[in-house]
Protein backbone atom coordinates (compact mmCIF):
# COMPACT_ATOMS: atom_id res chain seq x y z
CA UNK A 1 0.00 0.00 0.00
CA UNK A 2 1.40 3.39 -0.97
CA UNK A 3 2.01 6.02 1.70
CA UNK A 4 0.12 9.27 1.90
CA UNK A 5 1.30 12.01 -0.44
CA UNK A 6 3.05 14.96 1.09
CA UNK A 7 1.33 18.27 0.41
CA UNK A 8 2.93 20.69 -2.01
CA UNK A 9 4.80 23.67 -0.56
CA UNK A 10 1.85 25.85 -1.57
CA UNK A 11 -0.65 23.59 0.22
CA UNK A 12 1.60 23.51 3.28
CA UNK A 13 1.73 27.32 3.23
CA UNK A 14 -2.08 27.55 3.06
CA UNK A 15 -2.45 25.07 5.91
CA UNK A 16 0.07 26.98 8.03
CA UNK A 17 -1.62 30.32 7.34
CA UNK A 18 -5.03 28.93 8.28
CA UNK A 19 -3.56 27.32 11.40
CA UNK A 20 -2.04 30.62 12.43
CA UNK A 21 -5.50 32.20 12.13
CA UNK A 22 -6.70 29.72 14.75
CA UNK A 23 -10.46 29.36 14.89
CA UNK A 24 -10.96 32.63 13.03
CA UNK A 25 -12.19 32.76 9.47
CA UNK A 26 -9.91 33.85 6.62
CA UNK A 27 -10.76 35.28 3.21
CA UNK A 28 -9.12 33.61 0.23
CA UNK A 29 -8.00 36.98 -1.11
CA UNK A 30 -6.23 37.76 2.17
CA UNK A 31 -4.49 34.37 2.02
CA UNK A 32 -3.33 35.12 -1.53
CA UNK A 33 -1.83 38.44 -0.47
CA UNK A 34 -0.25 37.09 2.73
CA UNK A 35 1.32 34.11 0.98
CA UNK A 36 2.28 35.85 -2.24
CA UNK A 37 0.38 33.26 -4.24
CA UNK A 38 -2.10 33.79 -7.06
CA UNK A 39 -5.80 33.10 -6.69
CA UNK A 40 -5.48 30.38 -9.33
CA UNK A 41 -3.22 28.53 -6.90
CA UNK A 42 -4.89 29.26 -3.55
CA UNK A 43 -8.56 28.70 -4.39
CA UNK A 44 -8.08 25.22 -5.92
CA UNK A 45 -6.07 24.27 -2.82
CA UNK A 46 -8.83 25.55 -0.52
CA UNK A 47 -11.52 23.74 -2.49
CA UNK A 48 -9.53 20.49 -2.51
CA UNK A 49 -8.90 20.76 1.24
CA UNK A 50 -12.62 21.45 1.80
CA UNK A 51 -13.62 18.43 -0.30
CA UNK A 52 -11.33 16.27 1.85
CA UNK A 53 -12.77 17.62 5.10
CA UNK A 54 -9.71 19.62 6.15
CA UNK A 55 -11.20 23.08 5.63
CA UNK A 56 -14.61 24.49 6.52
CA UNK A 57 -16.14 26.98 4.08
CA UNK A 58 -18.84 29.53 4.75
CA UNK A 59 -20.26 32.59 3.08
CA UNK A 60 -19.69 35.96 4.70
CA UNK A 61 -23.01 36.88 6.35
CA UNK A 62 -22.64 40.65 6.58
CA UNK A 63 -20.46 41.98 3.75
CA UNK A 64 -19.72 45.71 3.58
CA UNK A 65 -22.14 47.71 1.48
CA UNK A 66 -21.24 47.70 -2.19
CA UNK A 67 -19.30 44.42 -2.08
CA UNK A 68 -20.67 40.93 -2.61
CA UNK A 69 -20.31 38.30 0.09
CA UNK A 70 -17.03 36.37 0.04
CA UNK A 71 -16.20 32.83 1.01
CA UNK A 72 -14.56 32.36 4.39
CA UNK A 73 -12.24 29.49 5.27
CA UNK A 74 -10.88 27.90 8.43
CA UNK A 75 -9.36 24.57 9.38
CA UNK A 76 -11.60 21.77 10.55
CA UNK A 77 -10.47 19.49 13.35
CA UNK A 78 -9.02 17.13 10.72
CA UNK A 79 -7.32 20.11 9.08
CA UNK A 80 -5.66 21.11 12.35
CA UNK A 81 -4.25 17.59 12.62
CA UNK A 82 -3.03 17.71 9.02
CA UNK A 83 -1.41 21.12 9.61
CA UNK A 84 0.36 19.73 12.69
CA UNK A 85 1.64 16.77 10.70
CA UNK A 86 2.85 19.04 7.90
CA UNK A 87 4.59 21.34 10.39
CA UNK A 88 6.26 18.37 12.07
CA UNK A 89 7.69 17.08 8.80
CA UNK A 90 8.59 20.47 7.31
CA UNK A 91 11.92 21.18 8.96
CA UNK A 92 14.60 23.31 7.34
CA UNK A 93 18.00 21.76 6.70
CA UNK A 94 19.36 23.24 9.95
CA UNK A 95 16.88 21.14 11.94
CA UNK A 96 15.06 24.16 13.37
CA UNK A 97 11.28 23.92 13.58
CA UNK A 98 9.44 25.15 10.51
CA UNK A 99 7.78 28.56 10.75
CA UNK A 100 4.46 28.17 12.55
CA UNK A 101 5.42 24.77 13.98
CA UNK A 102 5.25 25.99 17.58
CA UNK A 103 1.70 27.16 17.00
CA UNK A 104 0.84 23.71 15.68
CA UNK A 105 2.41 21.68 18.44
CA UNK A 106 0.08 18.96 19.76
CA UNK A 107 -2.29 20.31 22.38
CA UNK A 108 -2.22 23.90 21.08
CA UNK A 109 -4.67 25.67 18.79
Residue 104 forms part of a structural domain: no
Instruction: Using pLDDT thresholds of 50, 70 and 90, give the confidence band for residue 102.
Output: very low
Concatenated DSSP letters for 29-93?
HHHHHHHT--HHHHHHHHHHHHHTTSEEEEE-SSPPTTS---EEEEE-HHHHHHHHHHHHH---T
Query: For the chain, how many structural domains are there in total?
Result: 1
pLDDT at 63: 85
Half-sphere exposure of residue 20: CA atoms within 13 angstroms, side-chain side: 15
- Kindly report which listed range (26-30, 96-100, 104-108) carries the lowest average pLDDT score: 104-108
Residue 2 forms part of a structural domain: no
pLDDT at 6: 81
The domain of 18 spans: 9-89
pLDDT at 92: 56
How far is the C-alpha of 92 from the C-alpha of 84, rounded, in Å? 16
What does the pLDDT average to over 71-79? 96
Residue 42 forms part of a structural domain: yes
- 109 or 85, greater pLDDT: 85
Residue 62 forms part of a structural domain: yes
Report helix angle 28-35 to 39-51, nearest 10: 120
Q: In CATH, what number is assigned to the domain containing residue 52?
A: 1.10.10.10
Q: How many CB atoms lie within 10 A of CB 4?
A: 7
Coil, strand or helix at 27: strand
What does the pLDDT average to over 63-81? 93
Amino acid sequence: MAGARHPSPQTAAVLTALAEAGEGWSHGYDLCRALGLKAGTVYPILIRLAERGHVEMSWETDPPRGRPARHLFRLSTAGVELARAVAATARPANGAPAPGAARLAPGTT
